């Protein structure tokens, strides 16, 4: 069953924030065995919505739209759906009776459409058959859209796709590899499995947190496919080793948290260039107080000296961004917090502040544990936001790799 999600709303086209309704729908449809092939975002222009709808109805067996269903000026969807599908709009008396004043328009539905009740808002959705295609029309407010989908749409779709093969996406996450290295491992792995289906491999994405490899995993009784997927993962594991930090798409902070908890160790962090991002990421995980004791955002030299005991002469001689200072930060914060581990990170996030010998993207980090301190440095590329993310990822990965061997 080919499927498309159309999200409607001018604010979704405006370039300021990502659209999230479709993420929910893509995930839910996958669990029903329905693969979304296209997502289309369109503004509140009558002509443009009609065009998107026509295109989608032609190439799919299922189209779900969200947005443009309320009673405000820019809500056009129901009228355009009626026009494109050549149906009249019919006033549903039973809906009208329950509609608050000012919302009467919401009781209008295309002829022969099935009402999808909205238990948490005033505007109902609807579903109809258009030739070979099932069209589901939902409101745009995420909370209401999700509820209608879960309460009504899911069950209806389940009947339509009986026997379909539910799937989910598995993300193998790596750090410390170039895209080319990850790709080579992927190619070798595909060679290993010659003769088997290569459908499991969906590709890879490189970003500030590393390279992610996307696999398509099947649930259910398809043991053959499951075993292919497992062999796929085993082959990748053999090639990439510890560069893989999660085989379940988890974030680095969750993996580090899990390892710290398992080993009963506590961590404190001294962050300069990352400005609090490492602490923020660690505390995104519920229960992180079990292993994250404190953080110091030592943005000024003064704070490095006062709170963490970095020597002024050291900063003067080697610079605030140096392996020496990173090491002193790690030891300093560990001593201050009396934790098992101390992580220190100092780098240049840019856009200014770089020099030929210390360019933007350079980061030094150190991990103190017992009498030992491990130092590492990286040179990343990216803008300020991307660099801060890469720095934080490298810092957390330093902790992870050492925890693996403790």
124-183 binders of a second copy (CB under 8 A): 140-143, 146, 169, 171, 179-180, 183
What is the C-alpha to C-alpha distance for residues 333 and 297, in angstroms, rounded to an integer? 11
What ranges make up the beta strands (E) of 9-143?
A: 35-42, 62-66, 89-91, 108-110, 114-116, 125-130, 133-138
* Residue 298 interacts with a second copy (CB under 8 A): yes or no: yes
CB nearer to a second copy: give 113 or 256. Answer: 256
150 DSSP 8-state letter: I
Q: Which residues contact 143 (CB under 8 A, 6 or more apart)?
A: 120, 121
Interface positions, 359-398, toward a second copy (CB under 8 A): 381-386, 388
Closest approach of Cβ 209 to a second copy, in Å?
10
Between 208 and 247, how does the x/- string for binding to a second copy read (CB under 8 A)? Answer: ----x-x---------------------------------
Instruction: Give the residue among 318, 265, 256 at the shortest CA–CA distance from 285.
Output: 256
What is the C-alpha to C-alpha distance for residues 33 and 225, in angstroms, rounded to an integer? 14
* Residue 188 interacts with a second copy (CB under 8 A): yes or no: no
User: CA–CA distance from 64 to each of 110, 274, 305 (Å)?
Assistant: 16, 41, 58
* Residue 191 interacts with a second copy (CB under 8 A): yes or no: no
CB nearer to a second copy: give 105 or 331. Answer: 105
Choices 87-95, 129-137, 282-290, 394-402; region in contact with a second copy by CB under 8 A: 282-290
Closest approach of Cβ 253 to a second copy, in Å?
10
* Residue 197 interacts with a second copy (CB under 8 A): yes or no: no
Interface positions, 310-329, toward a second copy (CB under 8 A): none
Choices 107-115, 126-134, 284-292, 398-406; region in contact with a second copy by CB under 8 A: 284-292
- Asked if 296 and 308 touch (Cβ cutoff 8 Å), the reply is yes
Interface positions, 66-85, toward a second copy (CB under 8 A): 70-74
79 DSSP 8-state letter: H
Pairing of strands 167-174, 210-218: antiparallel
* Residue 302 interacts with a second copy (CB under 8 A): yes or no: yes
Q: What is the three-class DSSP state of 12? A: helix
Choices 24-32, 87-95, 104-112, 232-240; region in contact with a second copy by CB under 8 A: 24-32
* Residue 275 interacts with a second copy (CB under 8 A): yes or no: yes
* Residue 280 interacts with a second copy (CB under 8 A): yes or no: yes
Q: What is the three-class DSSP state of 6? A: strand
Q: What is the DSSP string of 298-333?
A: --SHHHHHHHH---HHHHHHH-SSSHHHHHHHHHHH
**Token pair for residue 387?**
């660099």
User: CA–CA distance from 114 to each of 20, 96, 126, 175 (Å)?
Assistant: 26, 15, 5, 49
Interface pick for a second copy out of 25, 32, 148, 403 (rule CB under 8 A): 25
> Residues binding a second copy: what is the number (CB under 8 A)?
110
């Amino acid at each position: 069953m080919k499927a498309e999600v159309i999200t409607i709303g001018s604010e979704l086209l405006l370039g300021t924030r990502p659209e999230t309704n479709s993420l929910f729908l893509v995930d839910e449809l996958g669990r029903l065995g329905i693969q979304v092939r296209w997502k289309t975002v369109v503004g509140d222009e009558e002509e443009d919505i009609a065009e998107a709808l026509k295109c989608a109805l032609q190439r799919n067996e299922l189209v779900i739209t969200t947005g443009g269903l309320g009673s405000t000026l820019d809500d056009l969807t129901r009228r355009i759906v009626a026009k494109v599908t050549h149906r009249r709009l019919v006033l549903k008396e039973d809906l009208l009776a329950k509609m608050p004043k000012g919302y009467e328009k919401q009781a209008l539905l295309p002829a022969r459409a099935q009402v999808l009740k909205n238990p948490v808002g005033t505007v109902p959705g609807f579903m109809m058959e258009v030739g070979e295609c099932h069209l589901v029309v939902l409101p745009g407010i995420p909370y209401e859209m999700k509820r209608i989908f879960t309460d009504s749409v899911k069950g209806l779709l389940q009947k339509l796709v009986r026997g379909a093969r539910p799937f989910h996406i598995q993300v193998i996450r790596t750090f410390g590899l170039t895209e080319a290295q990850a790709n080579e491992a992927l190619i070798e792995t595909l060679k290993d499995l010659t003769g088997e289906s290569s459908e499991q491999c969906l590709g890879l994405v490189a970003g500030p947190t590393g390279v992610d490899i996307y696999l398509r995993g099947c649930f259910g009784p398809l043991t053959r496919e499951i075993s292919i997927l497992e062999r796929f993962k085993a082959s990748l594991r053999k090639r990439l080793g510890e560069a893989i930090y999660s085989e379940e798409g988890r974030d680095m902070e969750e993996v580090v948290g899990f390892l710290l908890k398992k080993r009963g160790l506590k961590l404190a962090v001294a962050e300069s260039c990352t400005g609090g991002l490492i602490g923020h990421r660690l505390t995104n995980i519920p229960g992180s107080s079990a292993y994250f004791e404190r953080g110091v955002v030592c943005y000024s030299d003064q704070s490095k000296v006062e709170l963490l005991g970095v020597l002024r002469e050291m900063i003067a001689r080697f610079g605030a961004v140096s392996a020496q200072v990173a090491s002193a930060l790690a030891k300093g914060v560990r001593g201050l917090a009396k934790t098992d581990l101390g992580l220190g990170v100092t780098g240049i996030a840019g856009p200014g502040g770089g020099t030929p010998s210390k360019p933007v993207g350079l980061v030094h980090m150190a991990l103190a544990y017992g009498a030992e301190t491990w130092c590492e440095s990286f040179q990343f590329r990216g803008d300020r936001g991307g660099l801060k993310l890469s720095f934080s990822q490298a810092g957390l990965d330093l902790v992870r790799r050492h925890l693996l061997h403790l």
